[in-house]
């Protein structure tokens, strides 16, 4: 398994090109199941999860071809020839469950392996299933699989989500696009990736209103056609590199990033003493003076995103004063804490909250990656730590960060991948 070695203490300076959003690309690829015509996606990041989704779609008969000068365009097309999403793919990537709504809407049946839990939590999909049942699907759980079917078309329904689930909103939105009649999704998730998906679906002929709000209204249509759609920049990649610039006391320009998508992250970084502003070609980040402790509580968008919690905690570990970090979305998303503490951080976890008492500096150490965002928080910490940090199991990183060590090395970091 590859490892990444960092010798910390060097301020980052320069530019990083922000890629397309992983969490927009995955549902958009599933949307390729909704039409027999060609869907062309541009600005697609080159990530392991994208390859996994392409592998899954191929099993359904949808060919995914990489095109464009840097292979950042995906062309999806083909007739659906299979409706099973097998365990050995779904267990690698939970987002596989996003083929459920499209398959039901297109061909009236789907057999999707239950995603199972992951490192950060049990990750149930009950809200996806309840919504689809309201739309007329018959769903049984057998042998670890979701076995869903509907006679004829799904029918429109008014669905009130008890929690603004991103995945449930996406699955139900795609299913509703082809349902018979009107669907309303109330308390829908408002993450920018949802709007990106809705805009693409409308370009394919769907009739969705309320885009960007927590109430989506969809007038079902009989069929969708092909379209071309550009994926929004990755706001979590943007926030991650902003933390890297801040923790090293550097200054970076994040090309292609959209400050507006950062929501509470920009505000919280400002409270911590980090200057972050929109520029003509992206977002400029630099640290203004000392880092100050700032409290965060993760919430659905536009609140502080759970996917930025670990990275922000690494930043707070060397801030002046203390910070309270509260994780409200997932039940086990503090696995980066023991690893940060091995680097000299002073973090105490009490249930869903962690108290971070800033220390003068961190010291490099061998550390273990456990999930995507915990892994990158260790990279952020290693960039500022004295001495050498080696992050093990970096396959977690490769799921969500394209060419991370190359991007950071180009900004002055002493970082390298050790093949293993
Ligand atoms: C998406 O996961 C993202 N993944 C996650 O990013 C992100 O952390 C999460 O949204 C929250 O923003 C993708 O977009 C591929 P949820 P998802 O449904 O859809 C509970 C990353 O690092 N819940 O909003 O699974 C669930 O247990 C990944 O890029 C139910 O109880 O998130 C969790 O506590 C990690 N029942 C909470 O809601 C359901 O049916 C948030 O889940 C669905 C969810």
- Within 10 A of 226 (CB to CB), how many other CB atoms are there? 17
Q: How many CA atoms lie within 13 A of 21 on its CB side?
A: 26
**Of 106, 110, 103, which is closest to residue 146 (Cα–Cα)?**
110
Q: For residue 395, what are the CA distances in angstroms to 2, 92, 245, 280, 369? A: 7, 12, 23, 34, 9
The alpha carbons of the chain give a radius of gyration, in whole angstroms, of: 21
Residue-wise pLDDT tens digits, 150-168: 999 999 999 999 999 999 9
Rounded average pLDDT over 24-34: 98
Q: How far is the CA of 28 from the centre of ligand 1 (A)?
A: 16
Q: How far is the CA of 173 from the centre of ligand 1 (A)?
A: 16
Instruction: For ligand 1, atom 38, name the residue with the nearest CA.
Output: 165
d(Cα 235, Cα 230) in Å, to the nearest integer? Answer: 15
pLDDT exceeds cutoff 70 at 203: yes
pLDDT exceeds cutoff 90 at 42: yes
Instruction: For ligand 1, atom 42, name the residue with the nearest CA.
Output: 165
Give the ligand 1 atom nearest the CA of 372.
22
**Among 114, 123, 141, 194, which is best to mutate for testing ligand 1, by the most ligand atoms less than 8 A from CB?**
123
**Does the beta carbon of 125 sit less than 6 angstroms from any atom of ligand 1?**
yes
Residue entry with tokens 């991007």: 407
DSSP string, 324-354: EEE--S-TT--THHHHHHHTT-EEEEETTEE
Q: For residue 412, what are the CA distances in angstroms to 8, 135, 164, 243, 378? A: 10, 53, 40, 15, 18
pLDDT exceeds cutoff 70 at 308: yes
pLDDT reported for residue 263: 87
DSSP string, 269-306: HHHTTEEEEEETTEEEEEE-SS-B---EEB-STTSB-G
| Backbone angle region of 71, left / alpha / beta, with phi > 0 → left and psi within -120 to 50 → alpha | left
Residue-wise pLDDT tens digits, 358-379: 999 999 999 998 889 999 999 9
Confidence of residue 283 (pLDDT cuts 50, 70, 90): very high
Instruction: For ligand 1, atom 30, name the residue with the nearest CA.
Output: 124
Residue-wise pLDDT tens digits, 105-130: 999 999 999 987 677 787 789 999 99
pLDDT reported for residue 298: 98
pLDDT reported for residue 178: 98
118 DSSP assignment: B
Rounded average pLDDT over 409-419: 96
Give the ligand 1 atom nearest the CA of 23.
14
**Among 329, 377, 400, which is best to mutate for testing ligand 1, by the most ligand atoms less than 8 A from CB?**
329
Rounded average pLDDT over 323-335: 95
């Amino acid at each position: 398994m590859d490892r990444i070695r960092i010798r910390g203490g060097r301020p980052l300076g320069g530019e990083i090109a922000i890629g397309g959003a992983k969490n927009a690309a995955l549902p958009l690829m599933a949307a390729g199941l909704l039409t027999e015509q060609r869907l062309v996606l541009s600005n697609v990041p080159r990530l392991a999860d994208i390859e996994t989704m392409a592998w899954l779609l191929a099993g359904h008969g949808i060919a995914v071809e990489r095109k464009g000068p840097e292979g950042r365009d995906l062309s999806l097309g083909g007739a659906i020839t299979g409706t099973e999403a097998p365990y050995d793919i779904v267990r690698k990537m939970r987002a596989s469950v996003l083929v459920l709504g499209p398959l039901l809407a297109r061909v009236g049946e789907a057999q999707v392996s239950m995603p199972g839990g992951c490192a950060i939590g049990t990750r149930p999909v009950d809200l996806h299933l309840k919504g689809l049942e309201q739309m007329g699907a018959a769903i049984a759980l057998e042998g670890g699989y979701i076995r869903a079917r509907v006679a004829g078309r799904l029918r429109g329904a008014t669905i009130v989500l008890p929690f603004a689930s991103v995945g449930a909103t996406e699955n139900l939105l795609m299913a509703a696009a082809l349902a018979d009649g009107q669907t309303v999704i109330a308390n829908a998730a408002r993450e920018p990736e949802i709007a990106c998906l809705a805009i693409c679906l409308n370009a394919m002929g769907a009739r969705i209103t309320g885009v960007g709000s927590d109430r989506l209204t969809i007038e079902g249509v009989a069929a969708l056609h092909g379209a071309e759609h550009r994926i929004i920049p990755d706001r979590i990649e943007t926030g991650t590199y902003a933390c890297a610039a801040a923790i090293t006391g550097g200054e970076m320009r994040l090309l292609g990033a959209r400050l507006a998508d950062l929501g509470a992250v920009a505000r919280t970084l400002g409270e911590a003493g980090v200057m972050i502003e929109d520029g003509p070609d992206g977002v400029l980040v630099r640290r203004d003076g000392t880092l100050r402790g700032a409290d965060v509580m993760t919430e659905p968008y536009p609140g502080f995103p759970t996917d930025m919690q670990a990275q922000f905690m690494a930043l707070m570990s060397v801030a002046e004063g203390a910070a309270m970090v509260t994780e409200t979305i997932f039940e086990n998303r503090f696995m980066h804490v023991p690893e940060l503490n091995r680097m000299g951080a002073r973090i105490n976890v009490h249930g869903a909250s962690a108290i971070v008492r800033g220390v003068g500096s961190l010291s490099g150490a061998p550390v273990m990656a456990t999930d995507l965002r915990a892994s990158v928080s260790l990279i952020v910490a290693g960039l500022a730590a004295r001495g050498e940090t080696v992050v093990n199991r970096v396959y977690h990183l490769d799921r969500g960060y394209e060419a991370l060590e190359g991007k950071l090395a180009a900004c002055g970091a002493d970082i390298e991948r050790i093949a293993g």
